[in-house]
């Protein structure tokens, strides 16, 4: 009889690594999404070009290759990253590129009349963005950001390939040690699914909170 409790401990440790990666990756992705998304809308050609190049490059190449690059190639130019650093970097930059288009699209979805109202009350460009456009655009971004965060969670599985002990890695360890495939892989399937549920629930409640008052319902 296999001592499952010890193996579950391993898998839980993996879950913590996966959660850590997802959180840190999401933070980096969010920062990159806003930088590149706002960059795409810049008045300056150089900034627009830089943002576009970043977005196209990271959307247009595989996350596997990006991760291998960060972990195996960067050392050749003198940058050695731990597996966790490489994982966060690759995941954050990759998902951030998708997020940047969400940011840009959401900002552009805010009607011209809001920009005109800002000019009429003499707000500067940044004041208008910060106090009028972004707060409204954020609500448009949220559902897609939720999708992106779930994509990021699932993509964390690739870091097992650079020996980071995440959920998927630990499941493989358990499988090789016990010879049992069904139990470890079903377990991590359920854990991934639960984590994704938590993300989508969190995003939805955030959305509800932000939308309060916008629909004309008295609260």
Partner 1 sequence: MSAPIIKINAISKSFGTFKVLDGLSMQVMPREKLALIGPSGSGKTTILRILMTLERIDSGHIQIDGEQLYHMERNGQLLPADERHLARMRQKIGMVFQLFNLFPHKSVIDNVTLAPILTKGMPRAAAEKRAMELLDMVGMADKAKAMPAQLSGGQKQRVAIARALALQPRIMLFDEVTSALDPELVEEVLNVLWRLCSETDMTMLLVTHEMGFAHDFADRVLFFDRGKIVEEGKPDEIFRNPKQERTQAFLKKIIAAGHRV
Select from 99, 208, 100 the least CA-distant residue to 146.
99
Which residue lies nearer to partner 1 by CB, 151 or 207?
Answer: 207
Minimal distance in Å, beta carbon 137 to partner 1? 10
Minimal distance in Å, beta carbon 140 to partner 1? 12
Minimal distance in Å, beta carbon 129 to partner 1? 12
Near partner 1 in 16-55, by CB under 8 A: none
Minimal distance in Å, beta carbon 145 to partner 1? 18
Which residue lies nearer to partner 1 by CB, 132 or 161?
Answer: 132
Regarding 214 and contact with partner 1 (CB under 8 A), the answer is yes
Regarding 213 and contact with partner 1 (CB under 8 A), the answer is yes
Maximal C-alpha separation, the chain: 76
Near partner 1 in 109-168, by CB under 8 A: 113-114, 116-117, 119-125, 127, 131-132, 135-136, 139
Q: For residue 86, what are its two tokens?
A: 């490489």
Q: Spell out the alpha helix ranges (H) of the chain.
A: 4-40, 45-60, 63-68, 83-109, 112-120, 125-128, 134-155, 167-178, 182-211
Q: C-alpha distances in angstroms, 145 versus 26, 80, 91, 129, 156? A: 9, 30, 14, 19, 16
Which residue lies nearer to partner 1 by CB, 24 or 140?
Answer: 140
Question: Using CA atoms, how far apart are residues 68 and 89, in angstroms rounded to an integer?
Answer: 11
Minimal distance in Å, beta carbon 139 to partner 1? 8
Which residue lies nearer to partner 1 by CB, 76 or 126?
Answer: 126
What is the CA angle 28-31-36, rounded to 5?
120
- Binding residues with partner 1: total (CB under 8 A): 22
Q: C-alpha distances in angstroms, 113 versus 26, 35, 108? A: 33, 25, 12
Interface positions with partner 1 (CB under 8 A): 113-114, 116-117, 119-125, 127, 131-132, 135-136, 139, 213-216, 218
């Amino acid at each position: 009889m296999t001592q499952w409790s010890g193996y579950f401990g391993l898998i839980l440790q993996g879950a913590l690594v996966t959660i850590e990666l997802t959180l840190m990756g999401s933070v980096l992705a969010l920062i990159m999404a806003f930088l590149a998304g706002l960059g795409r809308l810049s008045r300056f050609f150089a900034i627009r070009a830089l943002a576009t190049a970043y977005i196209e490059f990271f959307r247009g190449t595989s996350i596997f290759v990006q991760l291998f690059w960060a972990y195996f190639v960067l050392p050749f130019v003198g940058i050695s990253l731990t597996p966790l650093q490489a994982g966060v970097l690759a995941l954050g930059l990759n998902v951030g590129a998708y997020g940047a288009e969400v940011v840009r699209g959401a900002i552009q979805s805010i009607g011209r009349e809001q920009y005109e109202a800002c000019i009429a009350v003499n707000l500067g460009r940044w004041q208008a963005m910060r106090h009028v456009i972004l707060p409204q655009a954020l609500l448009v971004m949220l559902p897609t950001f939720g999708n992106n965060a779930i994509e990021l969670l699932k993509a964390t599985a690739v870091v097992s390939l650079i020996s980071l002990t995440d959920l998927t890695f630990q499941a493989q360890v358990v499988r090789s040690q016990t010879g049992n495939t069904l139990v470890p892989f079903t377990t991590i399937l359920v854990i991934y699914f639960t984590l994704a549920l938590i993300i989508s629930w969190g995003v939805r409640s955030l959305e509800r909170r932000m939308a309060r008052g916008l629909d004309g319902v008295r609260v």
